[in-house]
Amino acid sequence: MFLTISTTGTPERPATDLGFLLHKHPDNAQTFSTSYGTAHVLYPEAAADRCTAALLLEVDAVALVRRGKGKGRGGAPDAALAQYVNDRPYAASSLLAVALSAVFSSAMRGVCAAKPELPAQPRPLRIEVPALPARGGAGLVRALFEPLGWTVSAEPVPLDTEFPQWGDSRYVSLVLESERLTVAEALRHLYVLLPVLDDAKHYWVSSDEVDKLLRAGEGWLPDHPEQKLITSRYLSRRWSLTRQAMERLELVRLAEADDSAVEEIDNAVEAEAETEERPTPLAVLRREAILTALTQSGAARVLDLGCGQGQLVQALLKDPRFTEIVGVDVSVRALTIASRRLKLDRMGERQASRVRLVQGSLAYTDTRLGGYDAAVLSEVIEHLDLPRLPALEYAVFGSARPRTVVVTTPNVEYNVRWESLPAGHVRHGDHRFEWTREEFRGWAAAVAERHGYDVGFVPVGPDDPEVGPPTQMAVFTQGGATEKEAKAA
């Protein structure tokens, strides 16, 4: 990935002041390590009349896959290959935005101890990005940058210059020019809008991304005509985070209009009890349904297979009826996070004796999992390639054989009700498949028949009359429990 920032100057205001603003000396080529590769800063030209700084990011594609948030989509066993053979090392994206923030952090904040008067001074700027993914085309690029004071040139890059009949790619060669922006403003624009145009991020978007967006968008985002699109795409279309950001941006806009502080506007209305109930998150409904099924089964010793970061284990610990709880996951990192969530290092001896976290793969039989009353596979099976499901089936139902097994998985039919989910996409980048209700029931019935279980099905979440619930749950039991009893649970 490659980006250049150029400026012109005079003997009184030399262009080489760019080095002070970026905190990178024009005479030196500097290298910085990042989680996904190596960033280089160099100056192809540095004179009083013209100075250009270049940021070159060499991406380690293997590190990107191993540390990224997913390994492919769909049911194809080799879908992960697309993660190794793609445009990520070459096209500007959130990887480049993160590198900008890491390498030019002081410049983005408008800090320059050597010449404190420089950051506030507008300068003639020219920014070039040779390969920029633009989901929305050159028109969207102009719609995003022109309201900020940039003169925009966004030339579509042809798929192949030897075959013009193939048309243009989704990439543009971008040139931005301005006479009235500061370097800090320019960097903040790029930090937000590069991943917005790519419409993707290489890392999981959490609540702290709202604060990052508002910091980088200070002074320009509240009044931007494409504010909603920018906010939604920057936050990976997570509606809860987008709503939170939009509410905070509206407070900023109102405060500016009223010439008041945001805190004054936010406290202008007395606190009132909310009359409208907020919908319970699906993850909470899922845990409640699982706990109900386990309670109805009379289980005391429970396995949480694929326990992830320990949310269900934490909920099980709150109920004294569950005397032994074992969380199993293949990921050491997930188990470490679960241990911190549960505060195992500070837990009392009696409580600690009820819980264990162990590393293990559900694709292999494990004698440690035998003899338990119940096992839970909550949002686990869809993370396996379909050819590996029989191995999990035998490890759980054939080898471990708990009296009760609870399995939850997304209902793909319900995906049409998620406004933020693009058509044809699965709910998470690591899902290898998502089943319809008929497919899930067919698989569950076959598993039950092969291993001597009965199975009942329970909807989790709002049960839409057309597409069913967002989550489907199967309760497998030894000893003849009926579907009617499972539904009652």
3-state secondary structure labels for all residues of the chain: CEEEEEEECCCCCCCCHHHHHHCCCCCCCEEEEECCEEEEEEEEEECCCEEEEEEEEEECHHHHHHHCCCCCCCCCCCCCHHHHCCCCCCCCCHHHHHHHHHHCHHHHHCCCCCCCCCCCCCEEEEEEEEEEECCCHHHHHHHHHHHHCCEEEEEEEECCCCCHHHCEEEEEEEEEEEEEECHHHHHHHHHHHHHHHHCCCCCCCCCHHHHHHHHHCCCCCCCCCCHHHHHHHHCCCCHHHHHHHHHHHHHHHHHHHHCCCHHHHHCCCCCCCCCCCCCCCHHHHHHHHHHHHHHHHCCCEEEEECCCCCHHHHHHHCCCCCCEEEEEECCHHHHHHHHHHHCHHHCCHHHHCCEEEEECCCCCCCHHHCCCCEEEEECCHHHCCHHHHHHHHHHHHHHHCCCEEEEEEEEHHHHHHCCCCCCCCCCCCCCCCCECHHHHHHHHHHHHHHHCCEEEEEEECCCECCCECCEEEEEEECCCCCHHHHHHC
pLDDT in 10s for each residue of the chain, 489 residues = 789 999 999 988 999 999 999 999 999 899 988 767 788 999 999 999 999 999 998 887 666 665 554 433 333 333 455 555 666 667 778 888 888 888 998 999 998 888 999 999 999 999 999 988 888 889 999 999 999 999 999 999 888 888 988 888 888 999 999 999 999 999 999 999 999 998 877 766 777 888 899 899 988 998 899 999 999 999 888 888 888 888 887 776 665 555 555 455 455 444 444 445 567 888 999 999 999 999 999 999 999 999 998 999 999 999 999 999 999 999 888 899 999 999 988 888 888 899 999 999 998 999 999 999 999 999 999 999 999 999 999 999 999 999 999 999 999 988 888 766 666 677 777 889 999 999 999 999 999 999 999 999 999 998 988 889 999 999 999 965 444 444 444
pLDDT of residue 149: 93
Give CA–CA dist 418/470, Å, rounded. 9
pLDDT of residue 278: 66
